[in-house]
Amino acid sequence: MPGQCSSDPIRMTDHISRESNPAHASQLRCINCGVVFEKAAQNFRCASCGDLLEMVYPRWNATRPDAAALKALWRERRTSGLPVDESGVWRFRELLPSFDDWQEIITLREGNAPLYEMPGCARIAGLRQLYAKHQGMNPTGSFKDTGMTVAASVARREGFRWVACASTGNTSASMAAYAARGGMRSLVLIPEGKVSWGKLSQALDYGAVTCQLKTDFDGCMRVLNEVVQRMPVYLLNSVNPYRLEGQKTAAIELMEQFDWQPPDYIIVPGGNLGNSSALGKALLEMKELGFISSLPKISIIQAAGANPLVRTMRENAGKKLISVQAETAASAIRIGSPASWKKAVAVLQATGGTVEQVSEIEIALAKAEIGADGIGCEPASAVTLAGLKKLVKQGFAKAGDSVVLILTGNLLKDPEFTLKFHRGDLFAGTEREKEADILKPQQRAPILLDASVDAVIRTLKEADDRLET
Ligand code: F0G
């Protein structure tokens, strides 16, 4: 296959320890057996035991990063016009895998995601202070861009012509964009009929070869794992540890936005569990290196219909994954067998966070509540607020705590969900129809009128009266 520029398609690892030359070293280490690799196999699994790999930095032992100096440097870079500094990921490059030539990176100036106060949602949740870090404000509209800039850059550096992912939509949109920017081709496997149109149309426009498979996300992942073993394509799912290194920067940027005084809680949606793992890794590294003095508790929220981590934590304290047949309208997190579950369990345990699950109605309501604060997000992101409400009720989070919701995707990713919600169609004809009455106060269906000034003014007055009462 003329798919690869360099000679060796299967990059099996040599068990090399680069401790002897740590100055430039980042290494991949198995999370289970601890074997260290210089380069990963095509499927990013440990060649000894098959578990996931994580990135470690022996160079930090040789030259420990100076937290105070780096905080100042990172701030200073904000005024630079260099692409590598404008990127809200590469601005923090001292804590990432390094490149000999920074012009080699593929960047869309990702990261730089705003932190918003959420006064309406705070009141609803029963908190004095609530923030949302909106990763949906990234170039392709989701948090995936922060990881993709790193992993796609590595793919190109390694000479791959093809990159590939299985996706519920956002990864594929992001991968397709970065591949196009980097002059690579992209192969997308998505579950047929379960990816929102916004995301699907992005992958098409950015030129991906998009295959809709007659299976779910977990089935797409299984197929892709075989494909990457047999063809020279570079796997860009979050089992790729370079992705998670990039995604770490959301947590670094968040700490900077809090002037390095960490909030008490960070609430993250859980799907394949790469993001919670990445954010946790960043916090642990920052604590270890002296950037922060306390650890926010990372809590992970899943849809009740796609709750493998919740079940795994509740039924066996995180020892063995309980896979489920996933079903939720929050299609981004419709995942029953998450790859990074062990990493997520470790993050929950290290930070003292918890897990919670939320119903479809709770997700829909929370999404509208976030929207009513003028922010908006896609359904999967709204599990954070829905879960937080439960954590406050349970007394896990207290009124005076500072809490950050990680909003992972933009409202515009899934307009169909939003329209159905406001038209009252989301649960029509389902067993939840009656229960969905509680959503009515949030619904704002468009009003069809004659093109008449009087009709518009009447509508305006009626709405004003309603808001007065
Ligand atoms: N929120 C959104 C908007 C997502 O797209 C995803 C995952 C998640 C949350 C969950 O993050 O998998 O790291 O736990 N989307 C992947 C995709 C699976 O293919 O786009 P996770």
DSSP string, 413-443: G-HHHHHHHHHT-TTTTSTTTTGGGGGGGG-
CB 419 within 8 A of CB 382: no
Choosing from 170, 172, 174 the residue with most ligand 1 atoms within 8 A of its CB, the one to mutate for a pocket test is 170
Which tokens belong to 229?
A: 């073993």
For 140, which DSSP code? T
Q: Which atom of ligand 1 is nearest to the CA of 413?
A: 3
* pTM for this entry: 0.94
List the one residue out of 396, 346, 401 whose CA is nearest residue 51: 346
Where do runs of H (alpha helix) occur along 231-333? 241-257, 274-288, 308-316
CA 317/CA 181 separation, integer angstroms = 43
| 81 CA → ligand 1 middle, Å | 31
CB 392 within 8 A of CB 304: no
CA 257/CA 198 separation, integer angstroms = 30
- Axis crossing angle, helix 360-372 with helix 415-423, rounded to the nearest 10: 100
For 442, residues 6+ apart whose C-beta sits below 8 A from its C-beta are 365, 368, 369, 372, 421
Ligand 1 contacts (CB < 6 A) are: 142, 167-171, 238, 269-276, 332-333, 378, 380-381, 408-409
Q: DSSP string covering 176-218, please?
A: HHHHHHTT-EEEEEEETT-S-HHHHHHHHHTT-EEEEESS-HH
205: phi then psi, degrees, rounded to nearest 5: -65, -35
Give 42's strand partners: none
Task: Kindly give the pairing relationship between strand 162-166 and strand 185-191.
Answer: parallel
Nearest protein CA to atom 12 of ligand 1, as residue? 272
Burial of 381 (0-12, 13-18, 19+ CB in 10 A): buried
Q: Which atom of ligand 1 is nearest to the CA of 142?
A: 3
Residues of the chain with pLDDT under 50: 1-23
Nearest protein CA to atom 6 of ligand 1, as residue? 332
Domains along the chain?
1-64 (no CATH), 74-141+242-469 (3.40.50.1100)
| 106 CA → ligand 1 middle, Å | 21
Q: How many helices (H) and strands (E) does the chain have?
A: 16, 13
Other C-beta atoms within 10 Å of 26: how many?
A: 19
Where do runs of H (alpha helix) occur along 394-442? 415-423
Give 165's strand partners: 188
Other C-beta atoms within 10 Å of 395: how many?
A: 7
Which tokens belong to 222?
A: 């299984």
CB 213 within 8 A of CB 192: yes
Choosing from 216, 408, 411 the residue with most ligand 1 atoms within 8 A of its CB, the one to mutate for a pocket test is 408
356: phi then psi, degrees, rounded to nearest 5: -150, 155
| 174 CA → ligand 1 middle, Å | 11
CA 75/CA 92 separation, integer angstroms = 10
pLDDT at residue number 469: 64
Give me the residue label for tokens 């095509």.
42
pLDDT at residue number 39: 86
For 417, residues 6+ apart whose C-beta sits below 8 A from its C-beta are 196, 329, 367, 378, 379, 426
CA 195/CA 18 separation, integer angstroms = 42
CA 358/CA 342 separation, integer angstroms = 22
CA 276/CA 347 separation, integer angstroms = 8
| 314 CA → ligand 1 middle, Å | 22
Q: Which atom of ligand 1 is nearest to the CA of 272?
A: 12
434: phi then psi, degrees, rounded to nearest 5: -65, -50
List the one residue out of 229, 231, 134, 213 whose CA is nearest residue 172: 213
- Digit-coded pLDDT (tens) for 193-211: 999 999 999 999 999 999 9
Which tokens belong to 50?
A: 């098959």
Which tokens belong to 132?
A: 């949302």
Choosing from 143, 171, 217, 272 the residue with most ligand 1 atoms within 8 A of its CB, the one to mutate for a pocket test is 272
207: phi then psi, degrees, rounded to nearest 5: 90, 15
List the one residue out of 55, 59, 236 whose CA is nearest residue 156: 236
